[in-house]
Structure 1
């Protein structure tokens, strides 16, 4: 078994044995076969690496094919034709209505999903564009995923999105010029807006200095001005506006360099701030005159030049003086701490009380704006107030036009929003800041309707909403999908969106827009539907929810995230960016058919509501189960590569690792661990149990309901990749009986001592029982799920489903074999004396929880191979000691420590391949 094909064949043979012995585990048996080959010398780590390389290559191609299928057609000419066709069956007024409002706001977020190296991302993007196999990029050194790295990748993706939007605008204008030669110049296209929170998201992190955000915004301004100038030069190299744009570009770049430095020193800050705030003819703060001038020129120019000028004007209108709009984000608790300094210094007021709301209402009515400078920013200790001060400086000195979003995580009280309005008014920026509560926790989703009713009933908020022209909310699918389950989360978010439409209607706010930012990742475990772009756009904002706004006469501004390295693949090349935006333009999630027939899923609430509640109950039982928590944290976070600058902090002491709580792991790592263990519990589990006893009626409802079928398409897509046998296999690693029996009857006698040590050590370990109990619970639910699925048509079966499952099975078996190899190396290292409160048992536990870097550090300290030699000293007195060359330590490094490190590195590469087969990280 030295090829992937032979491993796949062997796994298929082993699967047949489950007919004879239901408890037989083919994945673990294949891992044992591989482990025996490794320990006998028949299979070396070099050969294992060749297998891993082949599997990695296949996974990159698999990922590319999924992306291509999701975006097809990718050919630019085909997408130009689709855009032109949008204009074919409408009159000029309808054309303006469609093209002068954004179909979508796309936000480029950067939670930790930068799993692929830049070269691997490029290979996937190339293959997705061409339809060929991906270039095989394996074993490449992973770059450090810093905030600067994330920001640079976000800017590259946005740049491709901007180019794609320009092409779409040009195509639409050409078609308009052909069809309405006397009217088309009156169109002001704005089909998409782009934004980013990379460098501005302060929720859950303290590593972003305030001047970092200022520096990023200045760098974005400089970068956008470069692109504007290049675009204008291509139209007219002698255009009068070029000199002004290039001067503003140079000025912004110089100021960006100022704020890229360490400004903790007051003198350095003062110099940088004074240069930015000083009057300067190059200090461009608005593009409104430039947009007007380009439009005026276009009115008189020939068609070709007019289209080019209007395309540039459209880009300026959409983006302003930056690569896009920006989103700051703080936590509600940070705002609470800030407002208490103003209204409750003794910490006696309940901020959720009516008294607190009344106090804030009065405060808002009386607040007078205060001037603030960069010194105020530097000395402010409150994170929330510092964000408002930073926004004020950006609006005053970088871009006076583009509004800024203030996202508030874990926002469950109207007083939190009123507090944020107070600070916006205090610093004179309430006319440019969109305050947006995030609904993502179970409590927020459950009580969100009452929250919106109370908030929109506040006159001060209604005045603010009318001033801004919109009501903004954010709904999150990552944390919601982890704590509630993806299907219940989607349905709860949908109901919340409906409640927003109802509250806006009831409070006379139908004259403003509803901007709904749905944040999700790229995988089914994080809220992105894998069934194509139609499902992807309808999953977070369903046709039912859209119709609620349309029937109330409320304009809808949908907004979604493209998250991290996974999301940026949609914009990794100009061709992919064009395909992505074309799919969105054609599907147009901002519009809906208000006369569409009612979906029975919303009429038959006697079935659908019970279905929702039962799945949610089942998911909650998992989350509250010590079994589920222990299984997910059995390996700590050691199954995962570092994939972002914002990561979960792992506890430093071993007892904390053993007692790790799921709430210590953020949503993306949580979902990624489920993926790596082989079963996306938060997507699949509970659906079968919810159908138990009512299969026929529920299956009929699902079959007749588009929303119901969409739910099942998600479950099927996840279930097609899932393996309960794999979950159980991970528990067998800790089975004392397995290790005691492995050298039984004279087999592998050279492993007898190591296996005995493992068997004895693991007699007190609970993980085998934990994984077995979890697998049993999953199996019972899965049996019921399969009964339901048998009654519902499979609308989008996964191509080559069994081949994909075997590919993942081989990856899992190979990793399990490497883990066994690591366990055996760890227990075979000679015992060393306790040092710095670290014992040999502690090192073993580090290996068992995949804290390999910590274990290697301790082992290398116990067995050093680099130390002073007698020849390093110029001494006259002779010495016969030391009389050895310490070869023993070098042998320990060679035979145990270095192989342990290499095996773990290979296991992480396998983890990347598994994520690619699933379609995304997490």
Structure 2
């Protein structure tokens, strides 16, 4: 087995043995064979690395192929032609209505999904957009440390490509209108897309982002955007009169951004930076309205049609983005808001914020508010996270950009009083006319009771007045945590119903002229709300045609918004060609619009079947989440199977050294989904579908096959199932099988491992993980059998291309990693016993290795076995000594034979992690 092809053939041969013995595990058997070769010296870690590098390249090619298929065609001419073919030829008023509201708001978020190195991202993007070959040069290098500034820089790069792509689309729309309606086209103000980011502003679940970070980022975005406006205007007219104002404004913003990168913990330093920003300066620009008006008038006055289109394209960008790279989203947790509001209106803690009385109390408090002035000193000394965010927003609106509104996202929002608390602070600091308060519905409780919250909130006159002033009602629905807590299928259906409830509540309260801005946050993987089959499914998964029709029939304008998360999400915008392609696909799909006259979907008519189906899947997913078996299996390796992929911690706060068994709820949604990928089975997508149809396969199958929504659900399930492997799940448990280790040298074939295998067998004899994985695999197998029976009744509309090749690639990667983990276990158990130091024993170190807390284990081993000692000749002493006598030596051999191989094997296993995630399509 010298190459990947040999391993693939061997794995295929081993799969044939499952016909004779269904319990036979080909993945673990191949891992065992690889382990034997490694321990016998027939293979080395160098050989493993060569195999892994070849598979890494293949996985990156898979990712590039998927990226290309989702957005094709990619060429500029092809995209121009495709958009032109969809443009209405009817009347100008209809055309304006279609293109003057965003078809999509795109939010560039920075959740920890920076899985690929910059070189790997560039290779994938170049392969997808230009057809260049991916080579081994981009694998195996150092991973950059993913810091907040790194995330922000990558977000700005993606947004810049998105802006250029939008400009091309806007220019095409304007040229079309100019040709079709030459006497009217100047009235057109196209706004097909709006961009935003929360990178540097999202405070939910983290305390490492300071208010000065947020101000500094906003100023740097202002400087970058002004520089881009300057470049656009220079391309139109290098001597344009407005350049003499815009260039100094860009320089001024850059200087102020530099001020806020300094350490501002000293009040004196803060005072200098703040006073520079707040002082009057002829270069200080707070609004683009004057420039927008001037450029519009110039476009009307010119006889040069191309120049007029170019000027209006620049104006459209200014209207969309304002004085920043896009709009910004702050985010806080509901608890932070509750703590803040109690300080103001309920210092004794007598008010139940879930009660009707709290709403009445808050209404009165909001009515009586007299806005307060604030400055940077108030911001610096404010202790409350929530209030600090409002103070930061006030300073941004006052001194950075007076026109662009700011979103305030509230995580875990389950009560109307929470939204009103946010309105209270917005009004307290005089910014309620520029802040869109947006509750987030993501937990099971929030999804179940979110409809009630919306009904009550939208019935409040004070909220209605606020919504009319803003011109929109904003909510956020999250597929990531929802997919973790209730499963991806039931989460999607629950979110869909909640979106429908928003349409009903707006209609019932006469708010039909107020736009509904629905921000659907999801990741890039199928386990976190990204449908993998085609762009139409991806858009409809977040906001279904059924939900869109609810708004259309009530005459409510709809503004869909989705997230592109971190390194995975930014891939869509990593080259100008890809950015143009994806925005064109979305523009053609027009997710903000829908046809109200389409036939009714039977999925929503036959609720006797579909509702029972939803409840059964949800119940099955809940059983997994609450199951000790599932929790133990998911946390069996801690987070050690995963690379670090972001600046936000993947695990909620706890004592990492104290608890040996990690709680499932301590793991955030992204790593939870990532672990499912690495264990080989997307439980939160597939599990429960088969069991929900048990005893009624034909009728449920017919319903799903007849319904457009049902077929969409099935396409997601089939895509996940095509990559899933119950055998792989079971194989991970065999690592902890005491009988395996006891039997391995039984026939004398590996006599040199006898001591290590005996020690492992004895250590693991009481370990529960082998039984945990076997029980989980059995449950998944039973459900999978039922799923296959159901799928037999539903035609496969979108068969996974190269399905078996992908499965074999994942299987070989898993076998290689299992062999590496065995190598780590053998070497860890073989390290000579050392004395307990600082309450850390050898058994503690072993457990660290078994739970893949390898960095911690290596640190302890290096402390126990140093290679460098204090040298006597470093002292300049007059008195002679005969000690040490030179007989002491460092522990170089222990490092060479045990510690260094463990570290290398672990690093190789993390490279396998990346490759597996690439085949799944994304991290997490």
Q: CA RMSD for the aligned pairs?
A: 1.1
Q: Is the 8 A contact 2:733 2:772 kept in 1?
A: yes
**2:840 counterpart of 1:843:** no
Q: Is the 8 A contact 1:634 1:658 kept in 2?
A: no
- Indicate how the Cα distance of structure 1 residues 383 and 655 shifts in structure 2: closer, same or farther if over 3 A, else same: closer
- Indicate how the Cα distance of structure 1 residues 411 and 903 shifts in structure 2: closer, same or farther if over 3 A, else same: same
The structure 2 residue matched to 1:678, chosen from 675, 680, 684, is 680
Q: Give the secondary-structure state (helix, strand or coil) at the position aligned to 1:193.
A: strand
- Indicate how the Cα distance of structure 1 residues 462 and 43 shifts in structure 2: closer, same or farther if over 3 A, else same: same
- Indicate how the Cα distance of structure 1 residues 651 and 895 shifts in structure 2: closer, same or farther if over 3 A, else same: farther
For 2:184 and 2:348, the matched residues in 1 are separated by 64
For 1:74 and 1:128, the matched residues in 2 are separated by 9
2:193 alignment counterpart: 192
For 1:903 and 1:657, the matched residues in 2 are separated by 25
- Indicate how the Cα distance of structure 1 residues 891 and 653 shifts in structure 2: closer, same or farther if over 3 A, else same: farther
**2:108 counterpart of 1:131:** no
The structure 2 residue matched to 1:404, chosen from 403, 406, 409, is 406
- Output aligned runs, 1:713-792, within 5 Å: 713-792=715-794
For 1:680 and 1:195, the matched residues in 2 are separated by 30
1:890 alignment counterpart: 892
1:67 alignment counterpart: 67
1:288 alignment counterpart: 289
**2:902 counterpart of 1:903:** no
Structure 1 gaps of 5+ residues are: none
- Offset at residue 655 of structure 1 (A): 7.6
Q: Give the secondary-structure state (helix, strand or coil) at the position aligned to 1:105.
A: strand
For 1:47 and 1:229, the matched residues in 2 are separated by 54
1:865 alignment counterpart: 867
Instruction: Note the alpha carbon deviations across 1:588-647, whole angstroms, 9 max, x for none.
Output: 000000001100000000000000000000000000000000000000000000000012
For 2:377 and 2:132, the matched residues in 1 are separated by 56
1:263 alignment counterpart: 264
For 1:724 and 1:464, the matched residues in 2 are separated by 52
1:170 alignment counterpart: 171
Q: Give the secondary-structure state (helix, strand or coil) at the position aligned to 1:557.
A: strand
- Offset at residue 131 of structure 1 (A): 3.4
Q: Give the secondary-structure state (helix, strand or coil) at the position aligned to 1:539.
A: helix
Instruction: Note the alpha carbon deviations across 1:325-374, whole angstroms, 9 max, x for none.
Output: 00000000000000000111112221101111111011011111011111
Q: Is the 8 A contact 1:83 1:172 kept in 2?
A: no
Q: Give the secondary-structure state (helix, strand or coil) at the position aligned to 2:108.
A: strand
For 1:319 and 1:654, the matched residues in 2 are separated by 43
- Output aligned runs, 1:470-619, within 5 Å: 470-619=472-621
- Output aligned runs, 1:67-216, within 5 Å: 67-87=67-87, 89-136=89-136, 137-216=138-217
- Offset at residue 656 of structure 1 (A): 4.8
- Indicate how the Cα distance of structure 1 residues 325 and 240 shifts in structure 2: closer, same or farther if over 3 A, else same: same
- Offset at residue 184 of structure 1 (A): 1.8
- Offset at residue 522 of structure 1 (A): 0.4
Q: Is the 8 A contact 1:87 1:176 kept in 2?
A: no
- Offset at residue 873 of structure 1 (A): 3.1
Instruction: Note the alpha carbon deviations across 1:545-564, whole angstroms, 9 max, x for none.
Output: 00000000100000000010
Q: Is the 8 A contact 1:434 1:472 kept in 2?
A: yes
For 1:597 and 1:650, the matched residues in 2 are separated by 47
Structure 2 gaps of 5+ residues are: none
Q: Is the 8 A contact 1:654 1:842 kept in 2?
A: no
2:455 alignment counterpart: 453
- Indicate how the Cα distance of structure 1 residues 651 and 221 shifts in structure 2: closer, same or farther if over 3 A, else same: closer
Q: Which moved more, 1:722-731 or 1:864-873?
A: 864-873
For 1:799 and 1:87, the matched residues in 2 are separated by 32
For 1:216 and 1:259, the matched residues in 2 are separated by 9
The structure 2 residue matched to 1:430, chosen from 432, 435, 440, is 432
For 1:745 and 1:439, the matched residues in 2 are separated by 59
For 2:124 and 2:656, the matched residues in 1 are separated by 39
Q: Give the secondary-structure state (helix, strand or coil) at the position aligned to 2:90.
A: coil
For 1:33 and 1:4, the matched residues in 2 are separated by 14
Q: Is the 8 A contact 1:519 1:561 kept in 2?
A: yes
1:28 alignment counterpart: 28
For 2:682 and 2:466, the matched residues in 1 are separated by 42
Q: Is the 8 A contact 2:103 2:559 kept in 1?
A: yes
For 1:434 and 1:654, the matched residues in 2 are separated by 38
Q: Is the 8 A contact 2:27 2:815 kept in 1?
A: yes
Q: Which moved more, 1:370-379 or 1:652-661?
A: 652-661
1:697 alignment counterpart: 699
Instruction: Note the alpha carbon deviations across 1:287-336, whole angstroms, 9 max, x for none.
Output: 01101111110012110110110110010010000000000000000000
- Output aligned runs, 1:800-819, within 5 Å: 800-819=802-821
Alignment coverage as a number of residue pairs? 922
Q: Give the secondary-structure state (helix, strand or coil) at the position aligned to 2:562.
A: strand
- Indicate how the Cα distance of structure 1 residues 737 and 456 shifts in structure 2: closer, same or farther if over 3 A, else same: same
For 1:98 and 1:330, the matched residues in 2 are separated by 34
- Offset at residue 872 of structure 1 (A): 2.7
Q: Give the secondary-structure state (helix, strand or coil) at the position aligned to 1:340.
A: helix
- Offset at residue 132 of structure 1 (A): 4.4
Q: Give the secondary-structure state (helix, strand or coil) at the position aligned to 1:558.
A: strand
- Offset at residue 97 of structure 1 (A): 1.6
- Output aligned runs, 1:38-77, within 5 Å: 38-77=38-77
Q: Is the 8 A contact 1:129 1:576 kept in 2?
A: yes
Instruction: Note the alpha carbon deviations across 1:25-67, whole angstroms, 9 max, x for none.
Output: 0000000000000000000001110011001000111100000
Q: Is the 8 A contact 2:868 2:890 kept in 1?
A: no
For 2:572 and 2:135, the matched residues in 1 are separated by 18
